[in-house]
A = this chain, B = another copy of it.
Amino acid sequence: MQDWFTSTAPAAAKAAPKDPWALPDVSHLVVGVLGGTGDQGRGLAYRLARAGQRLILGSRAADRAREAAAELGHDVEGTDNAECARRSDIVIVAVPWDGHAEILQSLRADLAGKLVVDCVNPLGCDKQGAYALTVPEGSAAQQAAALLPQSRVTAAFHHLSAALLQKPEIEKIDTDVMVLGDSRADTDTVQALVGRVPGIRGVYAGRLRNAHQVESLVANLISANRRYKAHAGLLVTDV
């Protein structure tokens, strides 16, 4: 039952709502990807760079980041995570869940003032497949927000197939990306960034306190992938 809030509140004394699709121009912003040598990081960097965004891959080892960047082409640069963070306007966190807290803690100063986009899915895996892990802070994104008090933390890019992102022959990925965050300006910016990739749309999907289920839903997509031999994605209808 999801209709609680569709009834319109009394309009009196309220300003006209801002057009939710009036998003800022982000084409000049430098985007860094921490964990940029992993499958998801490489995939996201490739799609964004191919769309014309300036990209920097970060990794614990700068030389591995440089190698991965060279393979991606599109003028992607590679360096260590700290320099990647410092030189970027928007920093996508695509590190493994295992190292999430430790890496972010070590980059706290480098990430100060940055718009951080967490796309980490805290999942476990056993014989029965994938399942959501319990995160003390609530979600990976809320953990990032707790560890990075001087950064603006959002969450996005959870449900994209890393395999599809990395295939050069795929021109367009028709899917929606749920964008979460507590500041309208920040989620608008992230939605605009998402929308740079052909076919992909960034849809606002709530505050950070509602990030856990978006992160965890990847376990369900993995179940669908197994059953249907697919790379399942999501579309939000009527939006």
Contacts and interface: CB of A to CB of B under 8 A. Distances in A.
Interface stretch (A52-60, A83-91, A146-154, A213-221): A213-221
Contacts of A235: 234-235, 237
A53 to B, nearest CB: 20
A160 B213 CA distance: 17
Contacts of A160: 2
Contact of A38 (B1, B178, B213, B227): B1
A174 B222 contact: no
A34 B125 CA distance: 35
Given A132-B210, A209-B131, A231-B6, A1 B218 contact: yes
A229 interface: yes
A204 interface: yes
Contact of A213 (B129, B212, B236): B212
A6 to B, nearest CB: 5
Contact of A210 (B8, B216, B234, B236): B216
A233 B237 contact: yes
Contacts of A38: 1
A169 interface: no
A227 B6 CA distance: 9
Contact of A159 (B2, B121, B130): B2
Contacts of A180: 220
A226 to B, nearest CB: 5
A6 B13 CA distance: 53
Interface in A87-136: 121, 125, 128-132
A30 to B, nearest CB: 24
A223 B210 contact: yes
Given A1-B121, A224-B206, A235-B237, A217 B219 contact: no
A23 interface: no
Contact of A2 (B203, B205, B212, B222): B222
Smallest CB-CB A-B distances: 7 pairs: A206-B223, A213-B216, A213-B213, A235-B235, A233-B237, A205-B220, A1-B40
Given A132-B213, A213-B220, 11 more contacts: A1-B162, A3-B162, A3-B163, A128-B207, A175-B237, A180-B220, A206-B219, A206-B222, A224-B236, A232-B239, A234-B235
